[in-house]
């Protein structure tokens, strides 16, 4: 993690020194972002529960539900 107010360099993000407009590998569109968020938030919910951070658990669960709903809607959209 970086400290507040510090910017991460491209090296700290694991990116190659390419053009600043190049997308990093695996960074797709909104659908891929939602899938990544849903997966990551699930892990964060576990950590928050383990440390009894009830308010964070609630907020993260809401985020997880929103991401899962978007994934569900994406699946329906792809079927039609």
pLDDT tens across 23-49, in order? 455 678 998 999 999 999 999 999 999
* pTM of the predicted protein model: 0.61
pLDDT, residue 39, reads 94
The 3-state DSSP class for residue 14 equals coil
For 43-72, what is each residue's pLDDT tens digit?
A: 999 999 999 999 999 999 999 999 999 999
Residue bearing the bigger pLDDT, 79 or 66: 66
What are the angstrom distances between the C-alpha of 75 and each of 6, 31, 42, 67, 72? 38, 10, 20, 12, 5
């Amino acid at each position: 993690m970086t400290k507040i107010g510090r910017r991460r360099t491209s090296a700290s993000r694991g990116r190659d020194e390419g053009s600043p407009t190049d997308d990093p590998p695996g960074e797709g569109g909104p659908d891929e972002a939602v899938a990544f968020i849903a997966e990551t938030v699930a892990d964060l919910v576990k950590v928050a529960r383990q440390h009894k951070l009830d308010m964070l658990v609630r907020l993260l669960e809401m985020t997880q539900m929103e991401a899962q709903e978007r994934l569900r809607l994406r699946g329906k959209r792809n079927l039609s």
